[in-house]
Structure 1
Amino acid sequence: VVGKRCTTNRENRSLERLVKQNRFKNVGKLHKEWTEAGVKASRATTHRCVKEFGYSCCIPLVKLLLNHRQRQRCLSWAKEKKNWTVAQWSKVLFSDESKFCISFGNQRPRVWRKGGEAHIPGCLKSSVKFPQSVMVWGAMSSAGVGPLCFLKTKVTALVYQEILEHLMLPWLNDHGVDVPDWPANSPDLNPIENLWGIVKRKMRNERPKNADELKATVKETWASIPPQQCHRLITSMSRRIEAVI
């Protein structure tokens, strides 16, 4: 038998307004503000109501500030590639760098959001400093993961040219992969961003003690990614482009 609701629809709507005002409030903060407004409810009830509204507690994406020109270039690029097939995308190499930290776990803030809300302004966070870490540059295509390089410095134009010359070009020649132009600041269009996320989730239970152990773990995990997983990410390009447009 379902028990009687202890809160009214009006009270529930007031709780949802609190969530929308600041998506980064934890359950304890939401419960405090809700009950201070005169609602009689437990912390568990607060949590259950928020979940019933359709919100999940997620790790937020990091927002990127795009100026008008960058937005226009991104839109033009997306329109040019709108009708590309999976076969065409399968010939493209995607590359990017990412930061891997020695300390993994739930240190990052969490955000309440519904399906499809990952990119709305209220659900995004600004980038912050991280604990001891290593910078990694990698590449992938529909054929699977490509080369991996640990970087000692931030990726400047000169560093990137050296990476292309010594790592990417030989790999391209072996696999017959094309590299088209790319709009600036467009991680939402790059499936390797999802691949970095997959690698980091696989490493969640690892406890490297220093940078060398961290590098070894990254290399091992990167090598374990099957080509089928990369191919599935490539097939998402048409959906990404539709979303950008």
Structure 2
Amino acid sequence: MPLDPVIVARIVALIQDGRGQRETARIVGKSLCAAQNVYQRYEETGLITRRPGSGRKRITTQRDDRFLVSTSLRNRTASAVLLRNQLQEVRDVNVSEWTVRRRLRAAGLSCRRMATGPPLQRRHRIARLAFARNHLAWNDEDWSNELFSDESRFCLNRSDGRRRVWRRPGERYAPVCIDERLPFGGGSVMVWAGISSEARIDLVFIQNGSLTAHRYITEVLEDHVMPFMITMGEHGILMHDNARPHAAVLSEDIRMRSELGDLIGQHSVQT
């Protein structure tokens, strides 16, 4: 890409002021070759502007480029083909999808796989903001009373994500290029874990089925959390998310919640 006219003028001014070309390049943050080409062009033409090129004329204007960028920012999931069609419909400019990708890349936009996360409603965002404000002044001693916990399911046979392979033409069904999959995913395992700043609870394997509210109480809270929270003292706090088993424990099993309150102190906090 051509250098900014301000940088070009600064290069010329520094060299005429007696600075060396290598020092000038270091000051403006450009390569030595760029500084040499700029000053050589100035000596030949007496101008700091770039000479007209002999290549193909740029098909999009700055307004077209701004239209592509603003349209992609309004609709982040729009494909390059869709952006090309909208550019042709609104601005009457016909370009290829590769041109669209180059314009967006030049503006600092790149196409990446979307991050995943739970759907958050307004009440969720309000609760998270309130939690952050309430804990903003906490120090290391305060956080040492927290037991953070979560569970996760792992596929036993293969990665859950999309896998890619390098192959030559005609090798689509070669054994080394086939992602072998067992029927119904090949099985999985769910584990639960808890950790604090001082210690951790060993992994709890949820065997034979999913984690329900009853199993969360009997297999996790009673067997692992309650003994651990006793060692943390009356200020211990159990942190877990709003998964169905956790929410069911807090909203439906009043008896268990009271028992946990006696042993855990402030018992559990949802985030």
Question: What TM-score comes out, normalization by structure 1 length?
Answer: 0.48
If you compute each CA radius of gyration, which structure gives the higher value, 1 or 2? 2
Q: RCO (CA 8 Å, sep 6+): is it higher in 1 or 2?
A: 1
Question: What TM-score comes out, normalization by structure 2 length?
Answer: 0.45
